[in-house]
Amino acid sequence: MIKVGIVGGTGYTGVELIRLLSRHGGVSLQAITSRKDAGMPVAEMYPSLRGHVDIAFSTPAEAELDKCDVVFFATPNGIAMQEAEALLAAGVKVIDLAADFRIKDISEWEKWYGMSHTSPALVASAVYGLPEVNRERIKSARLVANPGCYPTAVQLGFLPLIEAGVVDVGSLIADCKSGVSGAGRKAEVHTLLCEAGDNFKAYGVGGHRHLPEIKQGLITAAGKSVRLTFVPHLTPMIRGIHATLYARLTKDVDVQSLFEHRYANEHFVDVMPAGSTPETRSVRGGNACRIAVYRPQGGDTVVVLSVIDNLVKGAAGQAVQNMNLLFGLPEGLGLDIVPLLP
């Protein structure tokens, strides 16, 4: 059994990670730390875990994370970069679900995240944990930067087109819609049911932290600079991201076939039949990314629809997928979940 620790298990990403790990079969959950809630049984905060998880939150001191095989950081940005080094030095593998190690350009990261980076060297050695791109590198990694939710949905949607060189990368558009759980479990006014419910709005139009992360991935795929307009929106539901992507084709290509070939061997990317419209609920609670691709009116604009559960493929599920790769387990272990519908 792989000994697992979680730093910061009180948020939505944390409880989702616990849900997935509790049914994984190959892991033993050693500790879940929370300074603020140390001593409280995890199942008291999340009664959905009653009967499934007996552990209580512990202080970092009690947790003995350095005796784990792997530690997940489900913390706010800026924590993992302070604590990862000691764990790595102790031989513990680290998967960060926050943004600390995602962006290679340190100054770019510092600009968007508004703090100084304390471990630039680790950034260089971290592997960006998108298995559909970096599978082999993840397998031998010590430190995995788990991708953000929007970046997962957007990159998986754009990659076949960009890798094949069939679109103009100078005019990409990603119009993305997220459920409210993407904002976490913090007490804030704008995510109250009475503010976010029965309502739809854009946010971060002038600039969102996931923009540089997405661009970094697309630039790598394209081998050259890209221009991307990224507009996130908040939609009144709990889980789910729907990315609607627009690009201009530069070659006349069978896009359906292109996508099917790119993802033929990817267990968690489901290219749906032509004419489908993937629903976010079709992946609710599961680790799949479902994609449909269109050329409306047969024109040269290609439209890609890409949906994920932001807490699963967009966070905790992908983290477990990365853990499986890190330890040579079957990639889908513990992730064979039928989404909850209705």
Give bridge partners of residue 57 from the DSSP assignment: 32
Q: Which amino acid belongs to residue 110?
A: E
Minimum CB distance to its own copies smaller for 61 or for 192: 192
Q: Nearer to its own copies by C-beta: 33 or 235?
A: 235
- In three-state secondary structure terms, 188 is coil
Identify which of residues 115 and 202 has a Cβ nearer to its own copies in the complex. 202
Least distance in Å: CB of 322 to its own copies?
20
Secondary structure letter of residue 41 according to DSSP = B
Q: Are strands 70-73 and 93-96 parallel, antiparallel or unpaired?
A: parallel
Measured in degrees and rounded to the nearest 5, phi and psi for residue 319 equal -65, -40
CB of 140 to its own copies, least distance (A): 28
CA-based nearest residue to 310, from 235, 227, 246: 235
CB of 75 to its own copies, least distance (A): 17
First-to-last C-alpha distance (Å) of the chain: 34
Instruction: Tell the smallest beta-carbon distance from residue 301 to its own copies (Å).
Output: 5
Closest approach, Cβ 267 to its own copies, in A, equals 8
Greatest alpha-carbon span in the chain: 62
Cα 123–chain centre separation: 17
194 catalytic, yes or no? no
CA separation for the pair 278, 188 (Å, rounded): 31
Of the candidates 68, 149, 176, 289, the residue annotated as catalytic is 149
- Residue closer to its own copies (CB basis): 52 or 224: 52
**What does the alpha-carbon distance between residue 236 and residue 238 come to, in Å, rounded to a whole number?**
7
Residue type, 213: E
Nearer to its own copies, 88 or 183 (CB): 183
Active site amino acids: 149
